[in-house]
Amino acid sequence: MIFEVAGIISAISSINQAVNLAKDTQQTAATVGDMISNLTSAESRILRFEQKTKAKRPLTTAEAMKISLAKRDAQAIDRKLHDMCLSINGGMELYRNAQKIKAKAQADHARFLKTVAKRRAQRKQKIEEYITAFAVVFAMLLVLGFAYAAYEYVYKPYQLKDAKERLQEARERQKNIRQCGRVKC
């Protein structure tokens, strides 16, 4: 990741050197067009790196600072190219077209970041729903487990004990009836 940022920064600095050289030698619109395309590709590399990284994890402080510096340098180079395009015949049309493309790329980038944020929110909500469903199922199983344990280990033995006592009482009554003719002797 750091190598990508370093590559972007070196590309921007080489474009800056080319712009300074072109200012001194009064280059043609084709040369300026090449510089604009190089700058646009460097800016798109910055955006791609930012998209790729932010889709997986947040940027580290060092990466965010380097990207911020690269964007600032790209803006400074863009201003220099604008000034150069003013002095070249047909340069402003070329510059305007490049700016339209750049604006479209930035809008696409903003849209992408919004969709990533929306997906993260949906994923977070889905995880919370799963956790809630799991908690409800777990609570139901826990209640059923306690009910079963109470039935097996409390109610059934009591019922069995009660049945044994009733059987014993019935036997005693039968015995009493046989001996003395009454229920209790």
Q: How confident is the model at residue 2 (pLDDT cuts 50, 70, 90)?
A: low
Q: How confident is the model at residue 130 (pLDDT cuts 50, 70, 90)?
A: very high
The token pair at 146 is: 């306690």
Residues 6 or more apart whose CB falls under 8 angstroms from that of 23 comprise 80, 84
Look at 156 and 90; give whichever has higher pLDDT.
Answer: 156
Look at 86 and 136; give whichever has higher pLDDT.
Answer: 136
Quick: pLDDT tens for 42-87. Answer: 887 887 888 788 777 888 888 888 888 888 888 888 888 888 877 7
Residues 6 or more apart whose CB falls under 8 angstroms from that of 36 comprise 81, 94, 95, 98
Look at 89 and 132; give whichever has higher pLDDT.
Answer: 132
How far is residue 131 CA from its own chain's centroid? 17
Mean of all residue pLDDT scores within the chain = 82
In angstroms, the CA 12 to CA 68 distance is 13
Q: What is the pLDDT of residue 18?
A: 65
Q: What is the pLDDT of residue 20?
A: 65
Continuous segment of H or E residues that includes residue 24: helix 2-25
Quick: pLDDT tens for 5-35. Answer: 677 677 667 666 666 665 555 566 667 777 7
How far is residue 53 CA from its own chain's centroid? 11
Q: What is the pTM of this model?
A: 0.49
